[in-house]
Amino acid sequence: MAEESKQPASAGGAQEQAPRVQVDDKHAVSSYSNFCRVTGTPEELIIDFGLNAQPFGVPTEAVQITQRIVTNYYTAKRLLHALHLSVQRHEQAFGVLETDVNKRVIQRPQQS
């Protein structure tokens, strides 16, 4: 179960740090995903994750969904912000991530 603990404020009247949530992840299951689909209702978002065995073009086989997260829009907005900050830090360190697969593929000259 998650517990909140407050960090002590530093001397000199500095602002109090936001509470930190402790997590227990010893039962967490990790899996890889290269496919994501987002659907929803007026009350919640449904985020499906899976493995697309044919990442180029339109897959001829169905993508197997292995994980589904159902969340409210408030949590989704916090997740969006956290992901944005993480990607922004990564791009500052390693360069811009190109999401268009066709632009990432190196075109090799054809041999005759």
Domain ranges of the chain: 28-96
pTM to 2 decimal places: 0.67
Q: pLDDT tens, 22-36?
A: 999 999 989 999 999
Tokens (6 digits) for 7: 């960090």
DSSP structural state of residue 67: E
DSSP state of 13: T
- Could you report the per-residue pLDDT of 80-98, keeping only the tens digit for each? 999 999 999 999 999 999 9
Contacts of 53 (CB under 8 A, 6+ apart): 59, 61, 63
Q: Distance between CA atoms of 78 and 91, rounded to whole angstroms?
A: 20
